[in-house]
Structure 1
Amino acid sequence: MTVQRPFLSDEGQALIGLVREIADGELAPRVDEFEAERRFPRELFRLLGRAGLLGLPYPEEHGGGGVPYELYLQVLEEIAARWLAVAEGVSVHSLSCYPLAAYGSELQRKKHLPDMLGGELLGAYCLSEPHSGSDAAALKTRAEAGPDGFVVRGTKAWITHAGRADFYNVFVRTGGPGASGISCLLVDAATPGLLPQPPEKTMGLRSSVVAQLVLDGAAVGADRLIGEEGGGFRIALSALDGGRLGIAACAVGLAQAALDYAAAYAKEREQFGRPIAEFQGVGFMLADMATQIAAARALYLAAARLRDAGLPHSAEAAKAKLFCTDTAMRVTTDAVQVLGGAGYVSDHPVERYMREAKVLQIFEGTNQIQRLVISRSL
């Protein structure tokens, strides 16, 4: 990866240096094998956790890294440029820590957050259901009052880390219909009645695990309710602001990897007696790719600065997610085109980049939903 980050502090530069060292030494050499075998790299997440990279944007007092969101997102971008599934997993884990960190009681945070941020545990975020994706307020998973808390029944869908996570943020219906009847529960993976289903066979991100999660009479203690009963939908939407920025950064990292590979190939591949990079048809394509990536990076960093300043940023996060993921789709498609027939075979990574880019336009709210969020803000 060729990106220069001259505006970071000395501490920020050191962190990026550490991330590049781990990503180049531990992630990049393994990605092809794990993707081909659809194998989840659980031990690599433990490695990242022990390096302090699974709790970066959270307070040091609870075991986090205490770094600005702007820096955390640049870490995600660096990881995504080597292995998107791992970067997406880090983003999902960070998203999964947010409800407790932002809305949990002080007692809950002291009890659970250090382990969640310390590196050994991995989280999952359970909002979508088979019939309710974009219409999350229509979720049907029900939590009825039980002897010591709640008894949960229902099915969650498209859950990253299902069956691999150590804890799950599960959004459930504790009241009537609509957004006001939704609550958030922090559920331990060992809870009886929490039943991960077989993984989906996805087009990209094959080393990531995504599956349905069935809750069949799962008993969850009252002390696992995060925030107020009925306040879960507000928690979910607030968490997604940060999650969308995470996906935006991942998209830029993926696009940068595609550009770097295509540019290197174009300088080596010769036709008509000279490198194809010297032909305007290719050179201008690479120039457009570079420009789109630079614009996308600037957009997600601007939104992150708003978040770090404590300012409203929901619309800006939606703009970043929309633009960055659309950019990743365009750039990876163009990278395949630059390589021609070679781009269509798995000997080169650009075909994987193109497959992976597609899902970035779908999860954490489809790009149609991002446009809805943005248009309403106007």
Structure 2
Amino acid sequence: MPSGTEFASLDRVNLVSTGLSGTNLERGSSHNLRVTLQAIRLNAPITKVELAEITGLTPPSMTNITRKLLADGLIVETGRRRGERGQPAVELAINANGAFSVGINIDRDHITMVALDFLGRVRARVAEEIAFAMPEQVIDFFTRNLAAIRASGEVDMDRIAGIGVAIPDDFGRVDMPLRPSDFGIWETFDLRQLFAAHDLDVFIENDASAAAIGELQFGHGRAAQTFFYVLISAGLGGGLVIDGHQVRGASGRSGEIGFLPLGKARRKPINLQDVVSLSGLFGHLAAAGFPDVGLGGLGKLKGAMAEAALAWSEKAADLLCEPILVINAAIDPEAIFIGGRLPAKLVDSLCGRLAVNIRHRGASLPARAPVLRAALAEDAAAMGAAILPFSSRFLPSRTALMKIEA
């Protein structure tokens, strides 16, 4: 595992151990298509011979698979590799316009929407600062901006794989400062029904888990296959990835470090996310004499306000240390990534201080993962949401070889 903030390129030989092996069983045809697409995405430009070596599939099988992927418009021929013995081999790559996806992150302080192409590039992005948006505000936001994306011509609407939605668990239930009394409607609202009018498949995921998926597919997770993602948003959450697969846990609630208790205040218990979150940061700044800073103000910190924010990051690093030590001991991750909508400078400060705390307080641990700023920090949840339709239709999964009974 490289140290520092950048990761080395993936080695093609190592890809078999990260789940890119195919099967020559007939019922594995869908799995083989997915594995081949993933291998091309990670290694393009690449030849069919190299794909066969990486996936373990026979050359005839690989020829059939790539022929189908070309016919479906999911991959393209980019040229021929010259300078080697024999006839120049055709090189293959992902067709950026082969598929598109839309992701929307609904949070208690904002809504962000992105449209991705098949290479994971952002073709459109829009965000609005809306405190405690109600369902009708979300659908209005989505409808307006989907129409704008359609009008832009950046996305082939006939090739949209679906809509991914990233939203915190217990969205309408968790008590937060300034929460409206009627915000609990979200607990009984059918999210899929909210987007039903658009006639697209809808995929829903916890925001921190979606952020981890985004980091896995298009961030540092392409090199670190086992990691824990800490998402600092209006609240605090975590996403767990082991051996290149998101791990949800028995009840689908793995990574919920924000609910860890810190002890009792005079009136009510305090959880970790009451302090380590944007809400906690704004509360800290207000107590220091800087109310109504807002997200935009965080990017312009200076003087006493910058000192107050730095003090918050030191406190956050202190409180995060014990949970991260437990994660190191229990999971043995390659890295801890911290992302969210905090300014990069503040995240770097938090990462640095947390790394120092872990080194000092976790000296007895056999392994301690580096703490790094996530590659997809601000829009990780929205991008992870957009990956959900791609994952369902095109990416390798542990269930691809399971026999589905009617």
Structure number having the greater strand percentage: 2
Q: TM-score, normalised by structure 2?
A: 0.23
* TM-score normalised to structure 1 length: 0.24
Q: Where is the helix percentage greater, Structure 1 or Structure 2? A: 1
Higher Cα radius of gyration: 2
